[in-house]
Homo-oligomer: A and B are copies of this chain.
Amino acid sequence: MRMTSQRSIILDEIRKTHAHPTADEVYVLVRRRLPRVSLATVYRNLDVLTRAGLIRTVELGGCPRRYDGRVDDHIHVRCLECGRVDDVADALLARARSRVEKVSGYSISGHHLEFAGVCPDCQRRARGRRRRKNAES
């Protein structure tokens, strides 16, 4: 794998943010430093970097993929209101994995765990909206 300037800038941008950007968002970030970059190049390199283990692809059912500069084991929590994705470290995962391996007979090589709910910010916002609504009536 050649480390081209496009590739290293894409890697750098993903490592700099903790916002789990989509390919499109990475494209915007990268274009600030490399205005003539192609969207195809972004997709290609997100794939290559994932295969190389330098970043993680976060597959979220039903919505566009997101990319993550953290490659250690962790769980994602997605907000159903605003779409934001946060990280949670967890040790239960390894135990669940070995259990699943034993019960199913599969040879497990990866997992995908995501909890979905409403993030603290949106909970606050929702409480605010409710209060205002009650005040009106």
Contact = CB atoms under 8 A, between A and B. Distances in A.
Mostly helix, strand, loop or mixed at chain A's interface? mixed
Q: How many copies of the shown chain assemble into the complex?
A: 2
3 closest cross-chain pairs (CB), A and B:
A59-B61, A108-B117, A105-B120
12 contacts: A75-B100, A77-B100, A79-B106, A88-B100, A90-B100, A97-B115, A101-B117, A104-B115, A108-B115, A109-B116, A110-B116, A112-B114
A110 B117 contact: yes
Interface of A: 58-62, 65, 75, 77, 79-80, 86, 88, 90, 92-93, 95-97, 99-101, 103-120, 123
Contacts of A110: 115-117
Given A101-B117, A106-B117, 17 more contacts: A75-B100, A77-B100, A77-B104, A79-B106, A80-B109, A86-B106, A88-B103, A92-B95, A92-B99, A101-B115, A104-B119, A108-B115, A108-B117, A109-B117, A110-B115, A112-B113, A112-B116
